[in-house]
Structure formats: C-alpha cells, structure tokens
Structure 1
C-alpha cells in the first residue's frame, strides 16, 4: 500500500483524485486539513495543518510514513518554495538513514501539478521534453505565473534526493471549474437583464490548450503509479496533460448559446486581468509522452463539444451558491 499525501483539497482535480486513488485499492490517501471536519467529506485521513506550516507537514509525513506528496495547490510561490526545501531535507535524511544501515530504499516522492501556460504562448506545435528557460525556448509565459518556470526547474533539480515529477495541465474545465466564472457569470447576468451584448475578458484570437478535471486527476494517478519507474530510469520528469486546443471565440459563443443569450458576444481583450491573460495563453501541445510513458488515457475530449453540460453546470452551481448564501444570512 502506497501512502499518498495530497496538498490542496479545494480544486475539482484534487477532489477527483481523492476518490480515484482509494478506489484502486493500491493507495492510502491523506490530506492536509486545519480540522478533521473539513477533511471528512473527502473520505480520506486528515493530517492537521496547512500549507504555510512546514512543521506540521513534516510531522505528518514522518508519522504516517508518506511515500509520495502531491501538490495540487496552484501558484503559491512562497509556501511552494519552502515546501520543496523541506521535502528535500526529509528526502536526504531518509536516504542517509538507509545508507547508514546498508539498505537501499525508494526515494520520497514529490509530484507538482503545474500548468502548460508557464512555458510558452504559441499556436505552433510544441512538446514537453524541450527544457524551459533556455535562450531558444518559447515565448515567456503570462506575467501572473512568470516565476513558475524556475520552480519547475527547481523540482527537477532535486531528483538526486527525491523522486520528482512535474505534471503540466492545460487549462482545466469541467465540474463547474471556478476559473470559467469570469466568462460564464457575465453571460448569465446579461441573460437575466435582457442585454443585447456582453463583453468578456478574452483575446479574440487566443486558442488555449484544454483538459477536463477528470483527466488531470487520472494523469496525476498515473504519475503516482509510474513515479518510481520514471525516477529509477532517469527519464525527463515533465509531462503535459492536454486533450484539445479550442478558440476562446468558439468557447464563449457556445457558452452564450447554451445559456440562452441571444445578443452579441464581444471579446474585448484581457486588459490587466492576469488570470484572464493566463487563460488566454495559446497552446498547441501534445501529451504523447504522458500516454506512452505513464499510460495516461484521457476520457473527455473537447470543451465546446460538451458545452450544453458544462455551461449549465456553472449556472446551476452559481444558483446553489446564492441560495446557500441567502440561507446563511437569513
């Protein structure tokens, strides 16, 4: 049984991963939570603490003999750097203890869920095996996450004491993913008000790479299962997870149609909205290595294709949130 600690409980991806790992029968799953009550809905074992408390994380890893730590925590520069330093220290200590006893052990594992958008903004075909940060690398990433390429490289560079992997997901959709609220919410508001047009913070010609939350979770599951093999064989430990490339124009107009908006959809550019800028990063990527090496088999292909489900799921989720808030304030 492999003991897995997942950092990041709020995202649709991590919640899907919490369900799939125990279902396989091969993993015992832990999460970091400030109280046991917050972890109870996830159906996994909680470790007291939060991402800003490395002492608690260290205690949890040692007390529960954690084999692999999975970071699904987004772009949090300060705690991630501190976390990596702590994991490196723990990994080195484990190897030293085993070496003193004349034993060989599997390295402590760390898998970080990053994003393809940290590496390039281009419609040209690209791949994940080309190292980032070189003079001839692709166009720099959106400013909001410009520090992430260095962090990715920092993760790769500690492979001497940790078994590491960086899983770069494309722009995630599905399960009413909150990232898309900045597009779907104005459309829903325009429908209710009877407006004849709606302006959205998107670049008209952008074509982001996309992947469903379910498939990101299955990619992380595959990464956990293949981590020791990738580390032992010294394979380049960076993998892209992408299933389609679709235009923001098609996505926005399809969402408007499914939400019942009859007016004109205007893509007015991202302006100073850094999140929208990151979402409009054009990516023509490939997940061939993830399929071949990790055995990843994505199931959901195409955002626009299933927009009748995804847009209405967002609307239903928003309605539920407002109803729940009204109940709390009553």
Structure 2
C-alpha cells in the first residue's frame, strides 16, 4: 500500500524543498514529489534527507564483526546504526585468520539473501597491510595476498566488495587482478612512498582508507600516501570526523585539497555504538571507551565511537561545511564511490531517507520505504 506524506522540509540531495507531498509505492520507491497537498497524509516535521551510507563499519549494538562474524551480528549492526541515520553500510572485517574471513563472507552472503536492512557487501580491511602501520590490527595475522584470499575475494555472492591493502606489500599486477574480480581497492595501513602509491592508483586502486591515519605522511621531499591521497583528483578518501583520528585543521586541509565529491565521511565504528557497554575484547586486548574515544589496552586508538549523523554534525560545526554538503559527504559521495544508487530523494529512487530535528538528531529512519527506527 502506498504511503503518503506531507514533508515540512525535504533535501533531495541537491536542493531544499518546503511543504511538499511525497508518495512512496509498495515496492519501496518514491513514486512522486509534488507541491500539492495529499488527503490523509502523514506530516513529517523536520528535515527529510537522503539516508547515510557508511563504507567502514566494524560493529554496533554491542556486536563486533570480528568477534562474531554471523548473520545475527549483521542484524544488530544494521539496527544500531539505523538509529543514527545509516541506511546502507559495508560490514568491515579487520585483519584476521582465514577461517574468520570465510565465516564473515558466508554471513554477508546470507544477509544479502535475506535482505537484511542496510547490508551492502563486505569490506576486508587487511590482512595485506604494513606491520609498522598496523594500528590496532593483529600483527600475527598480517600476511601477503595468496590464492586462497583471491578465491574469497572473487566470490559472486558478496554484493559490493572492498579490500584495504598496503601497496608496498601487494603488487600492481595483483591490484589489477583484484579489480578484475570486482573489488574496490583502497590503500591504507601503509608506509608506501609516493611512487608506489601512484603505481597502485594506475593499477586500479580508487580509494584511501581513513585519510591521514596509519599511512605515510606528507613531507617536503616525499609526498607519501597522504600527499598522493590529497592530490589524486580521481580517488576518494574516507574521513573519520571524530576529533580524535583527525583534527579540524587537517579536515580543512583535505576539504581544500580534494575536489568536491571525493571526500566521504566514515565511522570506523566498533561494537559500542548503539550500546551502553564501556569496553569490549579485541583479540588478546581490551578496548575501553572514555567519552567518545576508544583506546586499546596496548595504547593505540582502536576504531571509533562515531556514528554517521555525528560525523555530519562535526564537520558542519567544526569546519563550517554547509549542512547540505556535509549530508552529501555522508550519502551521495559514498554512493558514488560504491557505484550504487543513493544520496537522492527523487521520483523512482529507493525510499531510503532520514528525518532530522533542528539539532540534527535522527528522529526516524526508513530503508526501502519501511520505517526501521523511530525516536
């Protein structure tokens, strides 16, 4: 049955509309948007905006994908992040042993078969990384690319596929092979020099994982991975806008350097988002939350306690980014990076959207026309 709404404010991904009628059909797509009123329509007070898309989500709702790579974990992650406006996400498995990677792939395949709300595919962050730039990743599981992983990455039932790797440890030939398997290759956790990064980009890498973090820095005589990320106009960069991973000044530099549309907000969220818990186990360590900062018992940052709408608020307030551009950084630009529909509310589009109040807090979330969260 079609759903009828009168929307006080509707941001369609490009323009703001006021007091419009919107009809969503029973297939979960926007049927019409019209200035005229509708009889017996539900009134949505606030700002209706496109649903947010997160390409790096390790956990949520008290569940961490590495600790329990299961269908239940994916359901819990999706429900937790929907509270904060995420309507599409890439479950992310950090460096782990081969059986855990296989279980994660099976869980994502099952989630896609069951149409678990929000699940888009699978992001393998590792295991082909640089040990000196491993961050919180487990050193004993870091390893070269092998035929076993290539077979896993080549599976056709995983939806969208991403792999974060260090290009000094994966050849340009292997990057081309991954791209031929339908994998979006991101560069990160790397100490590579500029020439190595440039070769990886020529081989088909298209993104950089959590810009600035765990990558070779920009120096006067060597651009490093940070320098190449900033000057590569065709490449996307993920940005963890939590004030712990990246300062406001570093965000401003990236905003000035990158073309519009090539910076996308990500969370790198761990299990505590959408949970009242204060700590969780990660391999043989414990990660503890203090405020919105997560620290491993070995001292390093261990993911984030960030959600997508908080990332939008942060870059809007801290960096002066126009609200609608901040929303695009969390919706349209990730969709463009993934090559999927998203970031728009228009006739024929999937009915994935969120309702925000004046404090930019999520009041409702819809996925394919179905309300999955209400405050």
Confirm or deny a common fold (TM above 0.5).
no
Give the strand-richer structure, 1 or 2.
2
Q: What TM-score does the superposition give when structure 2 sets the normalisation length?
A: 0.27
Q: Larger relative CO (CA 8 A, sep 6+): 1 or 2?
A: 2
| TM-score normalised per structure 1 | 0.30
Kindly indicate which of the two structures has a greater share of residues assigned to helix.
1
